[in-house]
Amino acid sequence: MDGWAYLEDFLQYLRVERQLSPHTLRSYALDLSQFLEFLQESRADTSLKEVAYPDLRAFLADSLKERRKSTVARKLSALRTFFKYLQRQGVVDGNPAKLAPSPKLEKHLPHFLTVDEAFHLLDTSGGDSFGACRDRAILEVFYGGGLRLSEVAGLSLTDLDLKEGVLRVWGKGSKERLAFLGKPAREALGAYLPRRQALLDGAGMPTPAALFVNQRGGRLSSRSLARLVGKWARVAGLSQALTPHGLRHSFATHMLEGQADLRTVQELLGHSSISTTALYTHLNLDYLMEEYDKAHPRSK
């Protein structure tokens, strides 16, 4: 088998066994296709078994000329996973990508809201129309549940238990978890759902699976949801551009400031590693210093 055949096998493994999202699969396919093309152009007679660290270093150096460090880091991660798979399959003896150092990345944390700003945003998105009720429900779900953009876009009506205030969410790697909704989010969804059904009945449309629909009854796309969040942030007069991830970031920050346990926040966010959740702990230095002064015996 040549490198392209092994790549197809690898992508099938990610699709079936790892159950990765289509977006992630496209990223793997793009990055590894670029590597195989680079290998063909630079060393056409080299098999995957013969690939060594210098080959990967040359590819990554070439990639760094035109792309951001974060993109190069993603390509390196794809190569590590690919060669780890090949090693398990007995195709290669070792993983040359393990030797390559990851590019040092600048950490750009998204803008997040203060509690007052979050309340102002949610109060701004009022109204009785289908669109206003839907948008209010979406903002409440983003902020009240700490969901990712892709998770909100993928919600179906059957994922919602309004009485219990619980959403079944499918996160990264198709991992299932529960998201909890407070009273304002439940009330916003309770106001939206009858208008959703009235819209569908009035147009004679069958009830779709999607929880959040557009005026034509179709599922709202990720792009539409992001535009919706940006629109209401502008209407509310918030100073910086707000994204869906900013609302998720606000959820985590406010939970931690409310003295929620870090492990609990990790579970609620669906993070596989607590180190990812720990990024949020340094966002409010004043809060952390106050907690230190209260808790540490040598703080005085």
Enumerate the H helices of the chain as residue ranges: 3-16, 22-42, 53-64, 69-88, 115-124, 130-145, 149-153, 183-202, 222-235, 244-257, 262-269, 274-278, 285-295
Catalytic residue numbers, as ranges: 148, 172, 245, 248, 271, 280
CA distance 229 to 242: 7
Residue 193 contacts residue 148 (beta carbons within 8 Å): no
Q: Cα–chain-centroid distance for residue 9?
A: 26
The set of residues, in sequence order, having a beta carbon less than 8 Å from that of 234 and lying 6+ positions away, is none
186-190 long-range contacts (CB < 8 A, ≥24 apart) are 186/162, 188/133, 188/136, 188/137, 188/139, 188/140, 189/137, 189/140, 189/141, 189/160, 189/162, 190/162
213-216 long-range contacts (CB < 8 A, ≥24 apart) are 213/134, 215/130, 215/131
- The tokens of 86 are what? 């090949």
Compute the chain's Rg from CA coordinates.
23
Which of 214, 235, 213, 210 minimizes the C-alpha distance to 122?
235
* Residues in the chain, overall count: 300
Which DSSP symbol is given to 49? G
CA distance 129 to 191: 10
